[in-house]
Amino acid sequence: MTRIPTNSTRRGVLGLIGGGAVWAAMPAHALNGNQAVALVSATVQEVLATVNSGRPAAQLYPAFERIFTRRADIDAMARAALGPAARQLGAQEFAAFRQAMSGYVSRKYGKRFQEFLGARIEIGAARQLKSFWTVDSTAYLRGQTPTKVEWHVSDRSGQARFFNLIIEGVNMLASEREEIGAMLARRRGDVRGLIADLQRAG
């Protein structure tokens, strides 16, 4: 069983907050703005098709997880969310954490995506920020003010994938680093306990 010192984990988590900070020092790849926009457009189409399918929530969440698996850099998101503690895990433990986080994120943000039932989403232009691209979008929900969603896209994994969302100013990756860091601290650094918590959360 891997037990991570909670004080060092907490410092690492708080020190990494900042959305794209993990990617800022990485070399740029061949990804361009058109490819970043294409990824976001394809992801949005899949999300809206899933939301508007009429399926019950129990079937929506696995569908959202499949979308995340295809379109998101889950490996990088998991490492960023866990912070320096990720380097102390063996391959099997990290794979288990990655899988648990994938389901957790899919359920958590799948609930938010369900608000997009009948929505129209406009995709804006892409802007390069150091080693990744940001793509703006606006969701027009029925009876609500428009919702701004910013997508951070990188090809660090070898393919164009998004690794962060900023929804109305709330940074998903920074929020998950804080939340997962707090969960790990409550478990006194017990990663297996953290994985069990993630499997139930969201």
pLDDT, tens only, 67-97: 999 999 999 999 999 888 888 889 999 999 9
Measured between alpha carbons, how far is 140 from 128 in angstroms, rounded to an integer? Answer: 25
* 100-114 per-position pLDDT tens digit: 999 998 888 888 888
DSSP for residue 121: E
* More reliable by pLDDT, 73 or 130: 73
The mean predicted confidence, pLDDT, of the chain is 85
| Contact assessment for residue 81 and residue 176, using Cβ atoms and an 8 Å cutoff | yes
Higher pLDDT among residues 58 and 136, named by residue = 136
Structure tokens at 142: 């029925």
**Is residue 132's pLDDT more than 60?**
yes
End-to-end CA distance of the chain: give it in Å, rounded. Answer: 24
How many angstroms separate the CA atoms of 72 and 156, rounded?
A: 11
What's the confidence (pLDDT) of residue 18?
A: 40
Helices (H), the chain: 6-16, 21-24, 33-51, 57-71, 74-82, 91-113, 172-186, 191-200
CA 88/CA 197 separation, integer angstroms: 19
Task: Say which CATH class 6-200 falls into.
Answer: alpha beta
Taking the C-alpha atoms of residue 36 and residue 72, their distance in angstroms, rounded to an integer, is 12
Confidence at residue 197, expressed as pLDDT on a 0 to 100 scale: 93
Q: What is the pLDDT of residues 158-182, one digit of tens each?
A: 999 999 999 999 999 999 999 999 9
Q: Is the pLDDT of residue 23 over 90?
A: no
- Of residues 117 and 73, more confidence is placed in 73
The dihedral region occupied by 137, where left means phi > 0, alpha psi between -120 and 50, and beta the remainder, is beta
> Can you give the residue ranges of every domain in the chain?
6-200
Sign of the Cα torsion 108, 110, 111, 113 reads positive
